[in-house]
């Protein structure tokens, strides 16, 4: 943590990325012979998402009283979403790629591939138990070589600094810390282990957290444990199997390229993933927790948006973030009730009008189960729709999965 001394200064919260979305491309859909919606009663051409990699011992016996920590006896774990028939066609007798790190139901235990456990040791005071696991994936194939780590003990920050001061770093790679809410804990990972995983190109962990997530007083106030976070979106099943995330490829390409905007390869990526985002905005997306569901308000003004952003930050104090996208566009993130967000958006348009700026807004409610970057892209698409609309009287457009109408 960045604002404390002692042992805790060596740790940051562990954030395990879920799989936000995996799409099946048109070519892949054609190759398996038709409409995947016969196999999925869900929208958005969605093939996989996080619940395919959240593990339970037996989903048919799952209940609120179900034990979410394990005692070391070998267990068979099932994916929470037991079977996805279309995977049988997509895999063609192959194996589904599983994450090297994922969560168990309840987020009180984590699932790791044994290759990541080879050099890990835990002092007995931490109460960590390793349970050998066989995983039954969403194509119903058994997978060996995994273990669940259960953290039976949690300690307050004071006890961590007092009790673990003589424990070698190598024997405390992860610790579970008690938060102010007696029902909430945080799993912390040592910075050295995190750096080692990053060098190994382990993609299921967030390595850059928002500054607020690195503040001990802020973390202690969290009402829920936040182990999992919004993860990557894959634009085809092959991209998922190859672990190629187009959004990251785009950002890296933009950062590394000095070529003209007419570069066909780069232009294709930009068309697919909208535009590269600022480092500040990217850090904000990374810092969103697994329970965060703010509203994104993208706006465009006929004039310089940078000066308007300064005025917005001064006028409204309850905003989660205000970001400059380009000369004429900005993004606001705000936690709000569904019945209040429309009033806020209308007040925002009126506030810009007082500054003699014509504003158009798109309001999109982020679903905490999805990718913040995906929500951002959809918000910009909605903004484009209202900016290009022939209705001069329409200033705000909404998309809210909680809305009643």
Residue 357 confidence (pLDDT): 79
Distance of CA 122 to the CA centre of its chain: 28
Separation CA 111–CA 101 (nearest Å): 6
Taking all residues of the chain, what is their mean pLDDT, rounded to a whole number?
77
* H, E, C per residue of the chain: CCCCCCHHHHEEECCEEEEEEEECCHHHHHHCCCCHHHCCCCCCCEEECHHHHEEECCHHHCCCCCCCCCCCCCEEEEECCCCCHHHHHHHCCCCCCCCCEEEECCCCEEEEEHHHCCCCCCCHHHCEEEEEEEEECCCCCEEEEEEEEEECCCECHHHHHHHCCCCCHHHCCEEEEECCCCCCEEEEEEHHHHHHHHHCCCCCECCCCCHHHHCHHHHHCCCCCCCEEEEEEECCHHHHHHCCCHHHHHHHHHHHCCCCCCCHHHHHHHHHHCCCCCHHHHHHHHHCCCCCCCEEEEEEECCCHHHHHHHHHHHCCCEEEEEECCCCEEEEEECCCHHHHHHHHHHHHHHHHHCCCCEEEEEEECCCCCCHHHHHHHHHHHHHHHHCCCCCCCCEEEECCCCCC
Residues 289, 61: Cα–Cα separation, whole Å: 28
Q: What's the pLDDT score for residue 126? A: 93
Phi, psi (degrees; rounded to nearest 5) at 281: -70, -40
Question: Which residue in this structure is represented by tokens 């997509």?
Answer: 90
Confidence of residue 364 (pLDDT cuts 50, 70, 90): very high
Q: Average pLDDT for residues 319-339, to the nearest whole number? A: 85
pLDDT, average across residues 170-189:
90
d(CA 304, CA 103): 45
Rounded Cα distance between 52 and 66, Å, is 19
Provide the pLDDT for residue 105.
Answer: 74
Can you give the pLDDT at residue 310? Answer: 67
pLDDT > 90 in the chain, percent: 22
For the ranges 34-48, 54-68, 109-123, the lowest mean pLDDT is seen at: 34-48
Side-chain-side CA neighbours of residue 353 (13 Å):
9
pLDDT recorded at residue 283: 77
For the stretch 187-238, pLDDT in tens is 999 999 999 999 888 888 988 887 778 889 888 888 777 777 766 777 788 8
Average pLDDT over residues 334-359: 84
Handedness of CA 268, 271, 272, 275 (dihedral sign): positive
Could you give the CA distance from residue 55 to residue 48 in angstroms, rounded to a whole number?
A: 15
Q: pLDDT value at position 303?
A: 64
For the chain, the structural domain boundaries read 7-233, 291-399
- Is residue 251 over pLDDT 60? no
CA–CA distance, 111 with 203 (Å, rounded to integer)? 15
Cα(280)–Cα(285) distance, integer angstroms? 9
By DSSP bridging, strand 319-324 and strand 11-13 are unpaired
Residue 271 has pLDDT above 50, yes or no: no
Is it the case that residue 88 has pLDDT exceeding 70? yes
**Cα-Cα-Cα-Cα dihedral sign, residues 260, 266, 269, 271:** positive
Q: Average pLDDT, stretch 299-303?
A: 81
Task: Give dist(CA 370, CA 374) in Å, integer.
Answer: 7
How far apart, in whole angstroms, are the C-alpha atoms of residue 231 and residue 195? 19
Q: Of 3, 371, 347, whose CA–CA distance to 157 is shortest?
A: 3
Helical pair 338-354 and 305-315, crossing angle rounded to 10 deg: 120
Q: Give dist(CA 291, CA 229) in Å, integer.
A: 8
Mean pLDDT of all residues in 21-41: 61
Contact 148, 156 (CB under 8 A): no
- Lowest mean pLDDT: which of 236-250, 264-278, 378-392? 264-278
| CA gap 262, 334 in Å, rounded | 36
Per CATH, the architecture of 291-399 is what?
2-Layer Sandwich (3.30)
190-204 pLDDT, tens digit per residue, is 999 999 999 888 888
When mean pLDDT is compared across 219-228, 229-238, 253-262, 310-319, the lowest value belongs to 253-262
- Mean of the pLDDT values across residues 61-88? 69
Question: Model pTM greater than 0.85?
Answer: no
Which residue, 340, 347, 285, is CA-closest to 312? 347
């Amino acid at each position: 943590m960045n604002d404390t001394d002692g042992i805790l200064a060596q740790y940051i919260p562990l954030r395990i990325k879920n799989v936000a979305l995996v799409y099946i491309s048109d070519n892949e859909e054609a190759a398996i012979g038709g409409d995947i919606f016969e196999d999925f009663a869900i929208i958005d051409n969605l093939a996989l998402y996080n619940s395919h990699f959240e593990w339970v011992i037996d989903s048919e016996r799952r209940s609120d009283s179900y034990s979410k920590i394990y005692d070391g006896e070998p267990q068979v774990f099932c994916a929470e979403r037991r079977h996805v028939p279309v995977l049988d066609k997509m895999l063609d007798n192959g194996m589904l790629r599983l994450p090297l790190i994922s969560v168990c139901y309840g987020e009180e235990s984590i699932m790791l591939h044994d290759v990541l456990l080879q050099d890990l040791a835990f002092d007995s005071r931490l109460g960590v138990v390793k349970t050998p696991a066989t995983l039954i994936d969403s194509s119903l194939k058994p997978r060996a070589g995994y273990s669940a780590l259960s953290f039976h003990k949690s300690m307050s920050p004071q006890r961590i600094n007092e009790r673990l001061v003589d424990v070698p770093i190598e024997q405390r790679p992860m610790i579970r810390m008690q938060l102010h809410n007696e029902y909430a804990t945080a799993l912390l990972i040592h910075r050295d282990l995190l750096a080692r995983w990053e060098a190994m190109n382990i993609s299921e962990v967030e390595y850059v957290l928002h500054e607020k997530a690195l503040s001990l007083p802020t973390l202690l106030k969290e009402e829920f444990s936040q182990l999992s976070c919004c993860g990557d979106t894959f634009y085809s099943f092959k991209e998922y199997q190859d672990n190629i995330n187009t959004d990251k490829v785009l950002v890296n390409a933009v950062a590394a390229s000095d070529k003209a905007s007419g570069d066909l390869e780069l232009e294709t990526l930009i068309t697919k993933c909208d535009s590269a985002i600022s480092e500040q905005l990217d850090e904000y997306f990374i810092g969103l927790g697994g329970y965060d569901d703010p509203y994104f308000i993208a706006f465009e003004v006929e004039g310089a948006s940078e000066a308007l952003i300064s005025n917005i930050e001064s006028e409204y104090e309850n905003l989660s973030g205000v970001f400059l996208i380009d000369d004429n566009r900005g993004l606001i993130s705000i936690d709000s009730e569904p019945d209040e967000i429309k009033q806020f958006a209308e007040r925002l348009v009126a506030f810009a009008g007082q500054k003699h700026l014509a504003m158009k807004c798109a309001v999109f409610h982020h679903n905490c189960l999805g990718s913040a970057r995906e929500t951002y892209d959809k918000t910009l698409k909605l903004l484009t729709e209202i900016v290009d609309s022939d209705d001069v009287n329409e200033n705000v457009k909404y998309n809210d999965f909680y809305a009643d109408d």
